[in-house]
Amino acid sequence: MSRSARRADGPRLDDMIGEPPATDEPPSIDEPIVIPAIGPGGSIYPVGKMDAHRRGLQHLAVSVFIFSGDEMLIQRRAAGKYHSAGQWANTCCSHPEWDETPAAAARRRLFEELGIDLKLTAGRIIDYRAEVGGGLIENERVHLFSARTDRTSLTLAPDPEEVSETRWASRAALGNEAAATPDAFAPWFRIYLQRWTELGL
């Protein structure tokens, strides 16, 4: 999917562009991946992905939830991930790149991580903040997306650099697992399970 095509998927972010907050340390964009951080009044400005996580800057993110019946597809993050490695999370989580809409990012990353191409429905937007290890902080304004499918006809092709394992489970079962073994689950996924009714899924 071309970058120009991604920009056309959903409202453009250009009208939201503003200035970063005034700080002694200006945000860095000298990184391979630049994402939209959130400034005063909800405006956005570019920041390097790692810089945003090291400094706990609020930024845009996407989370995808794929359901079959009453079960949700979850993934175990690969051992080489830069944070929360080996932990279970929802179907897909990521960040829009600087010139990309949340809708385009959700569809792109779902395909890159799991080989799935489904029509996604945009849902609510929530904020959360969580320490994710290694001195990194996820301070996100998350655009939620979901889809329903028949798991028997869904073919998964996980990228081993992103995903080590997948499975289907009900929200109730996952809530019990996360309560019993919290370290097995990514911090944001535990937050999602605790705030499930707010997600509107």
Active site residues: 93, 140
Number of Cβ within 10 Å of residue 121's Cβ equals: 13
- CA-nearest of 121, 140, 123 to 131 is 140
CA distance 188 to 185: 8
Tally: H helices and E strands in the chain: 6, 9
Our CA angle for 152, 157, 160, nearest 5°, is 135
Our CA angle for 98, 65, 127, nearest 5°, is 55
